[in-house]
Amino acid sequence: MRFGINTFLFTSPFTNDSIKLFPRFKTWGFDSVEIALEDPAHIDPALVRQALDDNGLVCGSICAAMGSGRDLRGIPPEQETALSYLKSVMDVMPTLGCGMLAGPLYSSVGRAGVETSEAYAQQWELVVKHLTTLSAYAGQAGLKLAIEPLNRYETDFINTADRALQMIDAVGSTALLLHLDTYHMNIEEKDPVKAILQAGDRLGHFHACGSDRGTPGRDQINWRKINSALQITGYTGYVVIESFTPDVKVIAKAASIWRQIEPSQEAIAVEGLEFLRDHMK
Protein backbone atom coordinates (compact mmCIF):
# COMPACT_ATOMS: atom_id res chain seq x y z
CA MET A 1 0.00 0.00 0.00
CA ARG A 2 1.25 3.48 -0.88
CA PHE A 3 0.40 6.54 1.21
CA GLY A 4 -0.16 10.19 0.38
CA ILE A 5 -0.99 13.46 2.11
CA ASN A 6 -3.52 16.05 0.92
CA THR A 7 -2.12 19.59 0.84
CA PHE A 8 -5.36 21.14 2.19
CA LEU A 9 -4.14 20.09 5.65
CA PHE A 10 -1.38 22.70 5.38
CA THR A 11 -2.26 25.33 2.81
CA SER A 12 -4.87 26.93 0.56
CA PRO A 13 -4.44 27.79 -2.19
CA PHE A 14 -1.59 25.59 -3.41
CA THR A 15 0.99 27.78 -5.21
CA ASN A 16 4.61 27.53 -6.31
CA ASP A 17 5.61 28.55 -2.79
CA SER A 18 3.82 25.48 -1.41
CA ILE A 19 6.60 23.20 -2.66
CA LYS A 20 8.43 24.09 0.57
CA LEU A 21 6.16 21.48 2.19
CA PHE A 22 7.66 18.63 0.16
CA PRO A 23 10.82 18.04 2.24
CA ARG A 24 8.66 17.67 5.35
CA PHE A 25 6.36 15.20 3.61
CA LYS A 26 9.35 13.13 2.54
CA THR A 27 10.94 13.23 6.00
CA TRP A 28 7.69 12.01 7.53
CA GLY A 29 7.67 9.03 5.15
CA PHE A 30 4.96 9.76 2.60
CA ASP A 31 5.15 8.26 -0.87
CA SER A 32 3.01 10.85 -2.63
CA VAL A 33 1.44 14.27 -2.45
CA GLU A 34 -2.21 14.90 -3.26
CA ILE A 35 -2.23 18.46 -4.54
CA ALA A 36 -5.47 20.31 -3.90
CA LEU A 37 -5.29 22.52 -6.96
CA GLU A 38 -7.73 25.40 -6.74
CA ASP A 39 -6.43 27.04 -9.90
CA PRO A 40 -3.80 25.65 -12.30
CA ALA A 41 -2.70 29.23 -12.96
CA HIS A 42 -1.34 29.30 -9.40
CA ILE A 43 1.53 26.97 -10.30
CA ASP A 44 4.33 26.34 -12.75
CA PRO A 45 3.77 22.59 -13.22
CA ALA A 46 7.37 22.00 -14.35
CA LEU A 47 8.66 23.69 -11.20
CA VAL A 48 6.37 21.63 -8.99
CA ARG A 49 7.34 18.42 -10.79
CA GLN A 50 11.03 19.18 -10.29
CA ALA A 51 10.45 19.76 -6.58
CA LEU A 52 8.63 16.43 -6.33
CA ASP A 53 11.47 14.66 -8.11
CA ASP A 54 14.08 16.38 -5.95
CA ASN A 55 12.35 15.06 -2.83
CA GLY A 56 11.68 11.55 -4.08
CA LEU A 57 7.91 12.10 -4.15
CA VAL A 58 5.19 11.77 -6.76
CA CYS A 59 1.94 13.59 -7.29
CA GLY A 60 -0.28 10.56 -6.93
CA SER A 61 -3.48 12.54 -7.36
CA ILE A 62 -5.01 15.95 -7.81
CA CYS A 63 -7.89 16.86 -5.51
CA ALA A 64 -10.43 18.95 -7.42
CA ALA A 65 -11.58 22.14 -5.69
CA MET A 66 -15.27 22.31 -6.58
CA GLY A 67 -16.09 25.61 -4.97
CA SER A 68 -18.96 27.98 -5.59
CA GLY A 69 -19.56 28.60 -9.28
CA ARG A 70 -18.15 25.25 -10.41
CA ASP A 71 -21.15 23.01 -10.81
CA LEU A 72 -21.87 20.48 -13.56
CA ARG A 73 -25.56 20.51 -12.56
CA GLY A 74 -25.81 24.27 -12.04
CA ILE A 75 -26.87 27.11 -14.28
CA PRO A 76 -25.11 27.20 -17.68
CA PRO A 77 -22.28 29.57 -16.62
CA GLU A 78 -21.50 27.34 -13.63
CA GLN A 79 -21.43 24.27 -15.87
CA GLU A 80 -19.03 25.94 -18.29
CA THR A 81 -16.83 27.19 -15.46
CA ALA A 82 -16.64 23.67 -13.99
CA LEU A 83 -15.83 22.10 -17.36
CA SER A 84 -13.15 24.68 -18.09
CA TYR A 85 -11.60 24.29 -14.64
CA LEU A 86 -11.51 20.47 -14.74
CA LYS A 87 -10.04 20.42 -18.24
CA SER A 88 -7.41 22.98 -17.23
CA VAL A 89 -6.40 20.76 -14.32
CA MET A 90 -6.11 17.77 -16.62
CA ASP A 91 -3.95 19.82 -18.97
CA VAL A 92 -1.21 20.23 -16.32
CA MET A 93 -1.41 16.71 -14.92
CA PRO A 94 0.95 15.05 -17.44
CA THR A 95 3.70 17.56 -16.59
CA LEU A 96 3.14 16.84 -12.90
CA GLY A 97 3.37 13.12 -13.60
CA CYS A 98 -0.11 12.68 -12.16
CA GLY A 99 -2.70 10.31 -13.58
CA MET A 100 -5.67 10.71 -11.19
CA LEU A 101 -8.10 13.60 -10.73
CA ALA A 102 -10.40 12.90 -7.80
CA GLY A 103 -13.12 14.49 -5.70
CA PRO A 104 -16.79 15.52 -6.04
CA LEU A 105 -16.36 16.45 -9.68
CA TYR A 106 -20.10 16.58 -10.29
CA SER A 107 -21.17 19.61 -8.24
CA SER A 108 -20.20 22.48 -5.97
CA VAL A 109 -19.36 21.37 -2.45
CA GLY A 110 -21.94 22.76 -0.04
CA ARG A 111 -24.85 22.68 -2.48
CA ALA A 112 -27.35 20.70 -0.45
CA GLY A 113 -31.10 21.26 -0.50
CA VAL A 114 -34.44 19.72 -1.31
CA GLU A 115 -34.89 18.99 -5.00
CA THR A 116 -37.99 17.66 -6.72
CA SER A 117 -37.60 14.27 -8.35
CA GLU A 118 -38.01 15.95 -11.73
CA ALA A 119 -35.28 18.51 -11.03
CA TYR A 120 -32.94 15.83 -9.71
CA ALA A 121 -33.49 13.70 -12.83
CA GLN A 122 -32.67 16.68 -15.05
CA GLN A 123 -29.52 17.39 -13.04
CA TRP A 124 -28.53 13.73 -13.27
CA GLU A 125 -28.71 13.81 -17.06
CA LEU A 126 -26.67 17.01 -17.16
CA VAL A 127 -23.94 15.46 -15.03
CA VAL A 128 -23.95 12.27 -17.11
CA LYS A 129 -23.47 14.39 -20.25
CA HIS A 130 -20.66 16.47 -18.78
CA LEU A 131 -18.84 13.55 -17.15
CA THR A 132 -19.02 11.71 -20.49
CA THR A 133 -17.26 14.67 -22.10
CA LEU A 134 -14.70 14.91 -19.31
CA SER A 135 -14.06 11.16 -19.30
CA ALA A 136 -13.33 11.25 -23.03
CA TYR A 137 -10.97 14.19 -22.46
CA ALA A 138 -9.23 12.26 -19.68
CA GLY A 139 -9.05 9.06 -21.70
CA GLN A 140 -7.36 10.80 -24.62
CA ALA A 141 -4.63 12.01 -22.24
CA GLY A 142 -4.25 8.66 -20.48
CA LEU A 143 -5.76 10.04 -17.26
CA LYS A 144 -8.38 8.77 -14.83
CA LEU A 145 -11.21 10.55 -13.01
CA ALA A 146 -12.68 9.38 -9.71
CA ILE A 147 -15.95 10.77 -8.32
CA GLU A 148 -16.36 11.03 -4.56
CA PRO A 149 -19.66 10.63 -2.69
CA LEU A 150 -19.96 13.28 0.01
CA ASN A 151 -22.02 13.36 3.18
CA ARG A 152 -25.52 14.83 3.20
CA TYR A 153 -24.35 18.16 4.64
CA GLU A 154 -22.00 18.80 1.71
CA THR A 155 -24.13 17.59 -1.19
CA ASP A 156 -27.63 16.36 -1.93
CA PHE A 157 -26.54 14.72 -5.18
CA ILE A 158 -24.29 11.68 -4.59
CA ASN A 159 -23.93 10.46 -1.00
CA THR A 160 -23.19 6.75 -1.32
CA ALA A 161 -20.95 4.40 -3.25
CA ASP A 162 -23.99 2.75 -4.80
CA ARG A 163 -25.25 6.04 -6.22
CA ALA A 164 -21.79 6.95 -7.50
CA LEU A 165 -21.51 3.58 -9.20
CA GLN A 166 -24.85 4.22 -10.90
CA MET A 167 -23.37 7.43 -12.30
CA ILE A 168 -20.26 5.59 -13.44
CA ASP A 169 -22.45 3.00 -15.18
CA ALA A 170 -24.49 5.74 -16.84
CA VAL A 171 -21.35 7.39 -18.22
CA GLY A 172 -19.91 4.07 -19.33
CA SER A 173 -16.26 5.07 -19.59
CA THR A 174 -13.30 3.12 -18.26
CA ALA A 175 -11.69 6.49 -17.46
CA LEU A 176 -14.31 7.17 -14.75
CA LEU A 177 -13.84 5.45 -11.39
CA LEU A 178 -14.98 5.72 -7.76
CA HIS A 179 -13.30 7.70 -4.99
CA LEU A 180 -14.21 6.63 -1.43
CA ASP A 181 -13.49 8.50 1.82
CA THR A 182 -13.75 6.92 5.26
CA TYR A 183 -15.17 10.10 6.82
CA HIS A 184 -18.07 10.35 4.37
CA MET A 185 -18.65 6.58 4.47
CA ASN A 186 -18.84 6.70 8.27
CA ILE A 187 -21.83 9.03 7.91
CA GLU A 188 -23.62 7.70 4.84
CA GLU A 189 -22.90 4.00 4.37
CA LYS A 190 -24.79 1.30 6.26
CA ASP A 191 -21.62 -0.76 5.93
CA PRO A 192 -18.40 0.88 4.63
CA VAL A 193 -16.82 -2.52 4.04
CA LYS A 194 -19.71 -3.54 1.83
CA ALA A 195 -19.33 -0.27 -0.10
CA ILE A 196 -15.66 -0.98 -0.78
CA LEU A 197 -16.40 -4.51 -1.88
CA GLN A 198 -19.23 -3.31 -4.12
CA ALA A 199 -16.80 -0.93 -5.80
CA GLY A 200 -14.39 -3.75 -6.56
CA ASP A 201 -12.01 -2.94 -9.39
CA ARG A 202 -13.82 0.34 -10.04
CA LEU A 203 -12.32 1.81 -6.86
CA GLY A 204 -9.83 4.32 -8.21
CA HIS A 205 -8.93 6.42 -5.18
CA PHE A 206 -9.17 6.26 -1.39
CA HIS A 207 -9.09 8.87 1.40
CA ALA A 208 -8.23 7.81 4.94
CA CYS A 209 -9.67 10.14 7.55
CA GLY A 210 -10.81 9.73 11.12
CA SER A 211 -14.51 9.44 11.85
CA ASP A 212 -14.37 13.00 13.27
CA ARG A 213 -12.26 14.14 10.29
CA GLY A 214 -9.14 13.89 12.42
CA THR A 215 -6.22 11.46 12.54
CA PRO A 216 -6.75 7.95 11.14
CA GLY A 217 -6.54 5.53 14.06
CA ARG A 218 -7.63 8.00 16.73
CA ASP A 219 -11.28 7.27 16.00
CA GLN A 220 -13.98 4.61 15.92
CA ILE A 221 -13.48 3.29 12.38
CA ASN A 222 -12.69 -0.42 12.11
CA TRP A 223 -9.50 -0.03 10.12
CA ARG A 224 -8.75 -3.74 10.17
CA LYS A 225 -11.95 -4.40 8.23
CA ILE A 226 -11.29 -1.47 5.89
CA ASN A 227 -7.85 -2.88 5.10
CA SER A 228 -9.25 -6.35 4.55
CA ALA A 229 -11.84 -5.02 2.10
CA LEU A 230 -9.21 -3.09 0.15
CA GLN A 231 -7.07 -6.22 -0.04
CA ILE A 232 -10.00 -8.26 -1.35
CA THR A 233 -10.69 -5.72 -4.11
CA GLY A 234 -7.02 -5.74 -5.09
CA TYR A 235 -6.79 -1.99 -4.65
CA THR A 236 -3.36 -0.72 -5.73
CA GLY A 237 -3.93 3.04 -5.67
CA TYR A 238 -2.89 5.55 -3.03
CA VAL A 239 -4.35 5.80 0.46
CA VAL A 240 -4.36 9.54 1.16
CA ILE A 241 -4.75 11.27 4.52
CA GLU A 242 -7.27 14.08 4.07
CA SER A 243 -7.89 15.74 7.40
CA PHE A 244 -8.24 19.36 8.45
CA THR A 245 -7.45 21.73 11.31
CA PRO A 246 -8.50 25.34 12.04
CA ASP A 247 -5.05 26.54 10.90
CA VAL A 248 -6.08 26.86 7.23
CA LYS A 249 -9.01 29.20 7.74
CA VAL A 250 -10.75 28.97 4.37
CA ILE A 251 -10.72 25.16 4.39
CA ALA A 252 -11.70 25.00 8.06
CA LYS A 253 -14.81 27.02 7.29
CA ALA A 254 -15.67 24.92 4.22
CA ALA A 255 -15.23 21.67 6.19
CA SER A 256 -16.93 22.98 9.37
CA ILE A 257 -13.83 22.54 11.54
CA TRP A 258 -14.83 24.79 14.41
CA ARG A 259 -12.54 23.34 17.09
CA GLN A 260 -9.06 21.88 17.48
CA ILE A 261 -9.72 18.20 16.73
CA GLU A 262 -6.08 17.14 16.95
CA PRO A 263 -2.92 18.63 18.55
CA SER A 264 -1.44 19.87 15.28
CA GLN A 265 -1.25 19.48 11.51
CA GLU A 266 2.00 17.56 11.89
CA ALA A 267 0.47 15.19 14.43
CA ILE A 268 -2.28 14.27 11.98
CA ALA A 269 0.26 13.56 9.25
CA VAL A 270 2.91 11.76 11.30
CA GLU A 271 0.68 9.78 13.65
CA GLY A 272 -1.82 9.04 10.90
CA LEU A 273 0.84 7.69 8.57
CA GLU A 274 2.41 5.60 11.31
CA PHE A 275 -0.98 4.05 12.08
CA LEU A 276 -1.83 3.38 8.45
CA ARG A 277 1.54 1.76 7.73
CA ASP A 278 1.01 -0.52 10.72
CA HIS A 279 -2.58 -1.43 9.88
CA MET A 280 -2.83 -1.33 6.09
CA LYS A 281 -0.49 -3.58 4.17
**Cβ 131 vs Cβ 147: under 8 Å:** yes
Over the chain, what is the mean pLDDT?
97
The yes-or-no verdict on residue 133 having pLDDT over 90 is yes
pLDDT of residue 76: 98
pLDDT in tens, 142-189: 999 999 999 999 999 999 999 999 999 999 999 999 999 999 999 999
Single out the catalytic residue among 148, 154, 188, 262: 148
Domains of the chain, start order: 2-279 (3.20.20.150)
The yes-or-no verdict on residue 117 having pLDDT over 90 is yes
118 carries an active-site annotation: no
pLDDT band at 256 (very low <50, low <70, confident <90, very high): confident
Three-state secondary structure call for residue 53: helix
Residues 6 or more apart whose Cβ sits within 8 Å of residue 140: none
Quote the CA–CA distance of 229 and 221 in Å, as a whole number: 13
In this predicted model, which residue has the larger pLDDT, 45 or 260?
Answer: 45
Single out the catalytic residue among 34, 242, 262, 271: 242
CA 128-168-164 angle, to 5 degrees, is 100
pLDDT of residue 252: 83
The yes-or-no verdict on residue 240 having pLDDT over 90 is yes
Between the CA atoms of 165, 149, 21 and 95, what dihedral angle is there, to the nearest 10 degrees?
Answer: 40
The yes-or-no verdict on residue 72 having pLDDT over 90 is yes
The yes-or-no verdict on residue 220 having pLDDT over 90 is yes
Supply the pTM of this predicted model: 0.96
111 beta partners? 155
pLDDT of residue 255: 85
pLDDT of residue 233: 97
pLDDT of residue 254: 82
